[in-house]
C-alpha cells in the first residue's frame, strides 16, 4: 500500500499546538522553521502526536503541509512518552546524570507506539518517497518502516547525544534499538563521536563490520555522520533589531536595579546544569567575589515533563536553592536571583538575551544547546559574553566562549568571573568570532546538508 506524499517528516510532535480558541497554531522552534519550507515545497506530510492524549483529529492541511496525527492513550503517554522516552532513554543518553529507570511495560508501549508511527507513515508515502524520522522517541521507526516499505529512502536524526558504548550496553532491548536505527539509509548525529559510538556498537552487538562512516547490513549500506543543528539566525537578528525589543531590554535592566545581569534560559531539566550554576553563583556571593549590589542572576526555567518524578524533584531542589540564596544574600526589593518558572515569548527571550552581560549555559550534557546559539545571534551589538559548558555540542563550534566544566564548581566560578571581567573590546572580539560561526551555519543549511547527504545514499 502506498500514498501520495513524496516527502514526510516523522517526529513525536506535530509542528502545531492547539490554541485555546480551538485553532491550530504553528509551534515555535528551529526544527519546524527549518523543515517547514521543505515540506511545503514538496507538498509533503508530517506525522506526529498532537501533544494531548485521547481523541485523534482527522488528518488536516496546515500552511501547505498535510498533518497526520498519531493518537496516544493516557497509558501510552505514561509508558511510551514519560516512561521509556523520558525516564529511560533520555537520562541514559545524557551520561546517566539521573538514574535511568527500566520497565518492561514501558518498552512494550514504546514498541507499540513506534509501530503506529511507522504504519501511518507507510500508508501516506508515495512510491520511492523520502522520509525523515526525528529523535529518541522513534528509534525503532526506521526498521519498522523499511520492513513495510523497502522502496523508501529513510533518514534519521538524533537530536540528543548518543551515549558511549559502555552506557548504551546497559539498555535492556539495546540490540532492537540499534537494529531500529539501521533501517535508515542515513543516521545523523550532532557530533562525530556519536556517529563513531553508533558504528562501533554495530560491531559489538550485531557482529557487523563498519568501515569509515558506513556499515553493510542485509545487503544495504547505512551511513552515519555528524550534522550539527543550528537556528534561524535571520529571525533572531530581526527580533534583536526591533526597537520595541530593545526598549524592553533597557526596561528590564532598569527594573533589575542597573546591576550586571547574568542570564540562564533552559527547560527545567536535570541535564541543563541549573543546580551547578546556582551552586557556583551562591559560592561567589558567599565568598564576596560577587555582591548583590553589583550583580543579579535571571533564571528562566521553562516548565517541562512535569509528570516525570525526576523533574518534580529537580524543581523542588532548584526552588529550595533559589530561596536559600535570596534569603541569605538578598535585601528588601533587591534579590540576587530572579527565578521564572514560566514560558516566555520569543520576543521576551530575545530582550533578555540583549539585556544580559553574561549568558550562562552550563549543561552536564547537551546534544547541541540552541540557547547558546540564539544568544550569539541576538547580540548584533557585539556585546556580552557567553559561559558555555564543554559538554554541549555547541562548545565544539563556539570556542570563543568562556568554556567551563560544570561538574567542577571552582571552574564554573572562574568562568563566570572571567566572563564578567571581559572588557568591551574583548567582548566584541569573542562575540564577532562566534557570530561569524553561527551566521555561516544556519538551521536551513543544516536541513539542506542532511537531505543532500540522504539523497546521495544508496
Ligand atoms: C533538544 C536537545 C538540541 C526555551 N524556553 C523557552 C523557549 N525555549 C526555546 C529556546 C530554544 C529551545 O527552546 C531549547 O533548545 P535547546 O537546544 O536549548 O534544548 P532542548 O529543548 O533540550 O533540545 C538539544 C535541540 O534538541 C535541537 O536539536 O540542541 O541538545 O536536548 O530554541 O529558545 N522558547 C520560548 N519560550 C521559553 O520560555 N518561546
- 27 falls in which pLDDT band (50, 70, 90)? confident
Q: Is 304 in the pocket of ligand 1 (CB under 6 A)?
A: no
Question: Region 81-98: what's the mean pLDDT?
Answer: 96
pLDDT at 426 over 70: yes
Percent of the chain with pLDDT strictly greater than 90 = 90
Question: Region 406-415: what's the mean pLDDT?
Answer: 98
pLDDT at 262 over 90: yes
Average pLDDT, the chain: 95
pLDDT at 199 over 90: yes
Question: Is 5-229+444-455's fold the same as 233-440's?
Answer: yes
Percent of the chain with pLDDT strictly greater than 70 = 99
As a whole number of angstroms, the distance between CA 279 and CA 321 comes to 8
pLDDT at 18 over 90: no
Check residue 30 and give its pLDDT. Answer: 62
Q: Is 368 in the pocket of ligand 1 (CB under 6 A)?
A: yes
pLDDT digits (tens, 9 = 90+) for 202-212: 999 999 999 99
pTM of the model: 0.96
Q: Is 364 in the pocket of ligand 1 (CB under 6 A)?
A: no
Ligand 1 center to 267 CA (angstroms): 7
- 34 falls in which pLDDT band (50, 70, 90)? confident
Mutate to test the pocket of ligand 1, among 15, 94, 267 (most ligand atoms within 8 A of CB): 267
Mutate to test the pocket of ligand 1, among 13, 34, 371 (most ligand atoms within 8 A of CB): 371
Check residue 19 and give its pLDDT. Answer: 84
In this structure, which topology does domain 5-229+444-455 adopt according to CATH? Rossmann fold (3.40.50)
- 13: helix, strand or coil: strand
Question: Region 314-318: what's the mean pLDDT?
Answer: 97
Partners of residue 48 on adjacent β-strands: 69
The DSSP 8-state label assigned to residue 366 in this structure reads: B
pLDDT at 291 over 70: yes
Minimum mean pLDDT range among 63-67, 144-148, 277-281? 63-67
Q: Is 303 in the pocket of ligand 1 (CB under 6 A)?
A: no
The DSSP 8-state label assigned to residue 330 in this structure reads: -
- Comparing 396 with 3, the larger pLDDT belongs to 396
Minimum mean pLDDT range among 26-35, 107-116, 227-236? 26-35
Helix (H), strand (E) counts: the chain:
17, 17
pLDDT at 438 over 80: yes
Would you name the residues annotated as active-site residues?
A: 159, 366
As a whole number of angstroms, the distance between CA 392 and CA 407 comes to 13
The DSSP 8-state label assigned to residue 89 in this structure reads: I
What would be the CATH architecture of the domain defined by 233-440?
Answer: 3-Layer(aba) Sandwich (3.40)
Q: What is the DSSP string of 129-191?
A: EEEEEESGGGTTHHHHHHHH-TTSEEEEE--SPPPPHHHHTTSTTHHHHHHHHTTSSEEEESS
Domain residues of the chain, as ranges? 5-229+444-455, 233-440
pLDDT at 54 over 90: no
Question: Region 332-354: what's the mean pLDDT?
Answer: 95
Amino acid at each position: 500500500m502506498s500514498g501520495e506524499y513524496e516527502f514526510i517528516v516523522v517526529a513525536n510532535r506535530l509542528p502545531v499546538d492547539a490554541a485555546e480558541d480551538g485553532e491550530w497554531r504553528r509551534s515555535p522552534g528551529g526544527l519546524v522553521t527549518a523543515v517547514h519550507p521543505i515540506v511545503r515545497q514538496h507538498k509533503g506530510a508530517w506525522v506526529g502526536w498532537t501533544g494531548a492524549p485521547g481523541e485523534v483529529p482527522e488528518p488536516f492541511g496546515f500552511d501547505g503541509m498535510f498533518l497526520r496525527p498519531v493518537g496516544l492513550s493516557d497509558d501510552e503517554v505514561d509508558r511510551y512518552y514519560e516512561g521509556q522516552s523520558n525516564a529511560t532513554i533520555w537520562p541514559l543518553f545524557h551520561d546517566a546524570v539521573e538514574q535511568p529507570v527500566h520497565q518492561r511495560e514501558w518498552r512494550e508501549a514504546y514498541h507499540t507506539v513506534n509501530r503506529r508511527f511507522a504504519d501511518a507513515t507507510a500508508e501516506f508515502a508515495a512510491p520511492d518517497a523520502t522520509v525523515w524520522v526525528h529523535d529518541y522517541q522513534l528509534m525503532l521507526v526506521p526498521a519498522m518502516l523499511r520492513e513495510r516499505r523497502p522502496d523508501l529512502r529513510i533518514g534519521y536524526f538524533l537530536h540528543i547525544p548518543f551515549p558511549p558504548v559502555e552506557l548504551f550496553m546497559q539498555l535492556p532491548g539495546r540490540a532492537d534499538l540499534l537494529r531500529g536505527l539501521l533501517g535508515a539509509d542515513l543516521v545523523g548525529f550532532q557530533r562525530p563521536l556519536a556517529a563513531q559510538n553508533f558504528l562501533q556498537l554495530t560491531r559489538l552487538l550485531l557482529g557487523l563490520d563498519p568501515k569509515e562512516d558506513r556499515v553493510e547490513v542485509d545487503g544495504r549500506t547505512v551511513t552515519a555522520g555528524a550534522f550539527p543543528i543550528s537556528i534561524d539566525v535571520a529571525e533572531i537578528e530581526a527580533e534583536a533589531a526591533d526597537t520595541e525589543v530593545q526598549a524592553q531590554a533597557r526596561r528590564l535592566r532598569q527594573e533589575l536595579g542597573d546591576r550586571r545581569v547574568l542570564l540562564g534560559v533552559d527547560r527545567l531539566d536535570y541535564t541543563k546544569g541549573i543546580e551547578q550554576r546556582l551552586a557556583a553563583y551562591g559560592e561567589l556571593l558567599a565568598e564576596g567575589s560577587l555582591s548583590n549590589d553589583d550583580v543579579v542572576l535571571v533564571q528562566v526555567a521553562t516548565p517541562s515533563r512535569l509528570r516525570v518524578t525526576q523533574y518534580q524533584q529537580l524543581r523542588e531542589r532548584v526552588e529550595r536553592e533559589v530561596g536559600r540564596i535570596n534569603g541569605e544574600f538578598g535585601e528588601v526589593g533587591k534579590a540576587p536571583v530572579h527565578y521564572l518558572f514560566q514560558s516566555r515569548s520569543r520576543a521576551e527571550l530575545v530582550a533578555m538575551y540583549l539585556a544580559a552581560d553574561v549568558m550562562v549555559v552550563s549543561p552536564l550534557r547537551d546534544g547541541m544547546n540552541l540557547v547558546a546559539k540564539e544568544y550569539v545571534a541576538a547580540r548584533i551589538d557585539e556585546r556580552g559574553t557567553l559561559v558555555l559548558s564543554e559538554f554541549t555540542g555547541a562548545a565544539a563550534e563556539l570556542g570563543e566562549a568562556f568554556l567551563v566544566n560544570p561538574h567542577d564548581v571552582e571552574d564554573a566560578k572562574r568562568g563566570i568571573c572571567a566572563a564578567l571581567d571581559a572588557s568591551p573590546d574583548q567582548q566584541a572580539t569573542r562575540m564577532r568570532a562566534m557570530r561569524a560561526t553561527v551566521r555561516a551555519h544556519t538551521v536551513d543549511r543544516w536541513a539542506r546538508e542532511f537531505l543532500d547527504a540522504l539523497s546521495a545514499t544508496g
